[in-house]
Structure 1
Amino acid sequence: MAAALSRTPSDPRAALLVIDMQYDFMPGGALAVAEGDQLVPLINRLGAQFRNVVITQDWHPAGHISFASSHAGRAPFDSINLPYGPQTLWPDHCVQATRGAELHADLDIPHAQLILRKGCNAGIDSYSAFVEADRTTQTGLAGYLKERGVDSVFVVGLALDFCVAWSAVDARTAGFNTWVIADACKAIDLGGSLEKAWQDLTAAGVVRIDSADLTG
């Protein structure tokens, strides 16, 4: 798969997107992804190779519309329809200024230029780093990257079948060459969501690679 790479990490036109490496997505967290903490050393190594790094941080206000606790009689992982479309309901997680919302303390990419907080709108969920779940509200990330001369993104982090996949698909829609580094991601795999994510990624033109394709 390495032959498919048109950008290397050191290329100033490439950026690494590190998605939601926060305590609530780690083992013991409110919305834990199995073995999510095991990604930290690999992501640190990858981050050191890139000139451009963006880190995202889920940052929900209390009572967010995506929380099951905000809907009487509903439980986590139920699905409901909201004004902007279907919504999986989640346990309360990554609430602003709580420990669960903090980035993992061992995440060590000091040259990251931007920490993008998403999911801040109380009435709209936001998996993607580029476009909120209403599929209209922009985060501004596409413009930020393009103004910096970035045309290619490599995506890692949590969770592969939600925030990573949505971010990667939206990166392609915004015109970026996009790769998902599969072994630097972990998935929730809720009701077949992982298989569907890979189907959506492939259909969008996102390329799947492993970290060895970058590190040799």
Structure 2
Amino acid sequence: MNNDGFMKGGLAAGDALILVDVQNDFLPGGSLAVPNGDEVIPVLNRYLALFHGHGLPIFATRDWHPPDHCSFLQQGGPWPPHCIASTPGAAFPASLELPPDTHIISKAVTPEKDAYSGFTDTELNALLQSSDARRLFIGGISAEYCVLNTVKDALQYHYTVFALNDAICAMDINSNHSHALEEMVRLGAILICFKALRA
């Protein structure tokens, strides 16, 4: 760490990485597959290695739905069943290199309430505060739903938020991706890519 408090690569004490819902059901072949969702994994692995190498905290959110979750079509919701707790579809892919000390945040865990944000009814904010996090670097799946809402809530909690432009994918890659990123910037997030952190 140099005199101004920044680590090599542009990271500092008080930084934290948040991966949003990088789960098998959101990847090609999953029950709610996001086009090209698997393409963010190699990039996220580089972020994971960078943050872990600096001893900075890492968080990974996951949908952890009961079988009768309100968001499912059978219950009148908009989505096919996905990320049902303890099933292979809810697991993180084997190719995602999560360090063993990653904080796992389960969301949307009750039948009657959905949660797109990693902050909704979870311990995420408390854990971030206990780790003295001030700047959050957020990437994952999908841009227009869970990533956007997690970014939005992080800003409302007054964190400085960096959206990982090269490690976010959208369900609608033709339009929603750019619109979601534009909305994150409008709300106050800063777009960043891996090269900038390594500069």
Give TM class, smaller chain.
0.7 to 0.9
Q: Partner of 2:29 in structure 1?
A: 28
Task: Please state how far the C-alpha of 1:123 moved relative to its aligned partner.
Answer: 0.8
CA contact under 8 A between 1:151 and 1:176: conserved in structure 2? yes
Alpha-carbon separation, structure 1, partners of 2:10 and 2:96: 18
Question: Does 2:191 correspond to 1:214?
Answer: no
Q: What's the TM-score once normalised by structure 1's chain length?
A: 0.81
Q: What's the TM-score once normalised by structure 2's chain length?
A: 0.87
CA 1:9 to 1:64, structure 2 compared with 1: closer, same or farther past 3 Å? farther
Q: Partner of 2:92 in structure 1?
A: 103
Q: Partner of 2:102 in structure 1?
A: 113
CA contact under 8 A between 1:10 and 1:49: conserved in structure 2? no
1:92 to 62, 78, 81: 81
| Deviates further, 53-62 or 200-209 | 200-209
2:118 to 129, 132, 137: 129
Q: Partner of 2:142 in structure 1?
A: 159
Task: Please state how far the C-alpha of 1:149 moved relative to its aligned partner.
Answer: 0.6
Question: Does 2:60 correspond to 1:55?
Answer: yes
Alpha-carbon separation, structure 2, partners of 1:170 and 1:127: 10
Task: Please state how far the C-alpha of 1:185 moved relative to its aligned partner.
Answer: 1.0
CA 1:9 to 1:65, structure 2 compared with 1: closer, same or farther past 3 Å? farther
Which digits, 9 at most, give the CA deviation of each residue in 1:180-214, with x for residues without a partner?
A: 01111110128954354234312220111222111
Structure 1 runs (4+) deviating above 3 angstroms are: 6-10, 190-196
Q: Partner of 1:65 in structure 2?
A: 70
Question: Does 2:126 correspond to 1:143?
Answer: yes
Alpha-carbon separation, structure 2, partners of 1:108 and 1:130: 23
| Deviates further, 21-30 or 203-212 | 203-212
Structure 2 residue matching 1:104: 3-state secondary structure = coil
Task: Please state how far the C-alpha of 1:10 moved relative to its aligned partner.
Answer: 4.0
CA contact under 8 A between 2:143 and 2:176: conserved in structure 1? no
**What is the number of residues matched between the two proteins?**
189
Structure 1 residue matching 2:184: 3-state secondary structure = helix
- The percent identity for this pair of structures is 32
